[in-house]
Structure formats: structure tokens, C-alpha cells
Amino acid sequence: MTYDVLAIGNPVYDIIITPYVRSRGRVLSGCSVNASLTLRRLGFKRIALVGTIGRNFLDRFKRELRRYGISNFAISVTDETGGFELIYDEEGNRELHVLGIAGKISFHDIPDEYLDVRYILLGPILDEIDYSLVEYLSSTTKAEIFLDPQGLTRIVTKGRVQRVCDRKYISEIVKLVKYVKPNEIESYVITGIRDPLEAAKTLVAWGAEVGIVTLAERGSVAYDGTSLYRIPAYRTMRAVDPTGAGDVYAGAFIAKRLEGGSIASACLFASATASIKVEHCGPEFSIKRKDVEERYKAIAHEMDILKG
């Protein structure tokens, strides 16, 4: 079978504390998981997931993933389960404390049958994906590779996550992928450039085909080598937990591209879908096409496209 999407990155179990909600214990999250669930909820069935998890959460993870309709996964067992305690302040800034660190992912962890795939989402949480894995994927598959670089910009010191990255190293990875989507802080750490549009252009100058920078409730910007896009966020009054909004954006962007949508429409669709996520805490929510389409229509006329 040809898979639609292979999502690579460690699942995590997080504790989330925002000014509005607090998760009940540790809840399932992680870029690979949140993006996969989004694609599943948008109707895609041929999804595979690869990552590592501790034995303590293994059975729960398998149960939860199957309940959400994803049955193709290759999970290696490591000593700890990845996860953060995420604490948000009133301005939406978050601090991450480490609850556990899972293992690295190597090409041995990826079943050959998963390589017959149209899109690969790379969603590392904490340095579990390295250059050699990306190089392997880009040389052995025909898939379009989408990188959410969050986990390449984090290091842990004394249990707290700090932002750093080796610019030369990450630019070599960016060269191998088609799409790269940092959030605002990550794009600054990666490129050293504060202006998100300029940062998106830099990612393209490094070799990506499309650079996208997400700006939380201020929307996102994208550059595809010819046009610059400013994509509005949908204005929701019910933003209780932004965790995973970027991951949902990634999943929905890929969904729209799989359906043949343009970059502009994939970004709008991603923004509309991500706005549903922020209204919920944890993985337990549905995404209705009708709601996404309504939000898409509400923001589409506010989008700016400039020749870049």
C-alpha cells in the first residue's frame, strides 16, 4: 500500500497548565502524534507513525492511537517516555520543564513498507532526529518532506528547555526538505532574523522550497520562492490551550496538499484547522470539515499575497 503520510518523531505525554485549563495528568501529544491525528480526523486513513516511548506509557499509547483510528505505527521502547510540563503565562509565553526524554530515532526503526509514501512529516520533540536520518529519507523515498524543526532548537539544562541551534547544521537539514515550518521563536533561533517574512525567505535561500513561520494568534507567513503570503489566524474567543497548534497546522497543511491544494490554500486550511485545536486541551476533540471550511472562508479574504 502507498501511505499518504509517514510521521516521524517521539510521542510525548505532557502536563499542560494554561491560565484557563490544566490537563488531567499527562496527556498524549507530540508533533508526529498531533499531526497524524489531524490527518486522520480530516479523513486520511493511510498514515504511519514512527517514534520511541518508555515502557510505562507503551500500552496506553497503543490503545489511544488505535482508538483514534491509527493502527500503523512502529514504536521502539526506551527507558523513559518523553514529555514536558508546559506552563503558559497570560501573554501566551510558555516554559517547558522536562518530564522524561525518550530515545533517538534511526533508519533501522522505520519499516521499509512505510517508505512507499507521499509525504513525510519530521516532527522531532527533543533532538531525536538527526541529519543522517533526513539524508536517508530524502535519498530512499520520493516523498515530499515537511520539517517542523521545534525539536532541533531545544536543549535541556537542569531540567529546563532552552532554545539553541547550530545554524550551519540545521541549514544542511533544511536543504534536504521541501517545507520547513518553525514558529516565531524557532525561526529566530534558526536564522538569527527577527522579521518572520525575512526568516521564511532565508529558509528558502538555504534550499527549502517553502518556508512558513507561524505566529500564534497573529497567523502565519510563508514564502515559496515567488510569492510572500500573510495568512491570518481565525479569531476565536475560546483559545484555552495553544499546545499543538503548530502540529495541527502541519497536519492540515499536508492534508490540503494531498488533495491538490495550492500553497496559499494549504496555509489557509492549516490556519483554520489549527484554530479549532486551541479551543481544546489534550488530544480529545473532533475536527469537522464543515467548521474548517467556514473558518477558511472567514479568513480567506484577509490573506495578503505579495510578489517576493
Ligand X SMILES: Nc1ncnc2c1ncn2[C@@H]1O[C@H](COP(=O)(O)OP(=O)(O)OP(=O)(O)O)[C@@H](O)[C@H]1O
Residues near ligand X (CB under 6 A) are: 150, 183, 214-217, 219-220, 233-234, 236, 239, 242-247, 249, 271, 274-275, 278
19: which residues sit within 8 A by CB, 6+ positions away? 88, 89, 90
Contact criterion met (CB below 8 Å) for 38 and 247 = yes
Q: How far is the CB of 209 from Mg ion (least distance, A)?
A: 20
d(CA 215, CA 99): 26
Q: How far is the CB of 86 from ligand X (least distance, A)?
A: 8
Residue number of the CB atom closest to ligand X: 246
User: Which lies closer to Mg ion via its Cβ, residue 10 or residue 183?
Assistant: 183
Q: Do strands 94-100 and 83-88 pair parallel, antiparallel, or not at all (unpaired)?
A: antiparallel
Q: How far apart are CA 17 and CA 40, in angstroms?
A: 26
Nearest Cα neighbor of 34 from 300, 287, 224, 240 is: 287
* 74/240 with CB nearer Mg ion: 240
**Smallest distance from Mg ion to CB 116, Å:** 28
Grid cell in block for residue 268: 489557509
Q: CB of 157: closest distance to ligand X in angstroms?
A: 20
- Nearest approach in angstroms of CB 183 to Mg ion is 5
Looking at beta carbons only, is 110 or 224 nearer to ligand X? 224
Which partner from the list ligand X, Mg ion, none does 275 bind, CB cut-off 5 to 8 Å by kind? ligand X
Please report how close the Cβ of residue 36 comes to Mg ion at its closest, in angstroms. 15
If contact means CB under 5 to 8 A according to the sort of partner, which of ligand X, Mg ion, none does residue 233 touch? Answer: ligand X
Sheet holding 220-223, edge to edge: 72-78, 47-54, 3-8, 117-122, 144-147, 179-180, 210-214, 220-223, 227-231, 304-307
Question: Of 55 and 235, which CB lies nearer to ligand X in the complex structure?
Answer: 235
Minimum distance, C-beta of residue 41 to Mg ion, in the bound complex (Å): 18
Looking at the Cβ atoms of 81 and 150, the one nearer to Mg ion is 150
Nearer to Mg ion, 115 or 145 (CB): 145
**Residues of the shown chain interacting with Mg ion in the complex, contacts defined by CB under 5 A:** 150, 183, 246
Nearer to ligand X by Cβ, of 17 and 215: the residue is 215
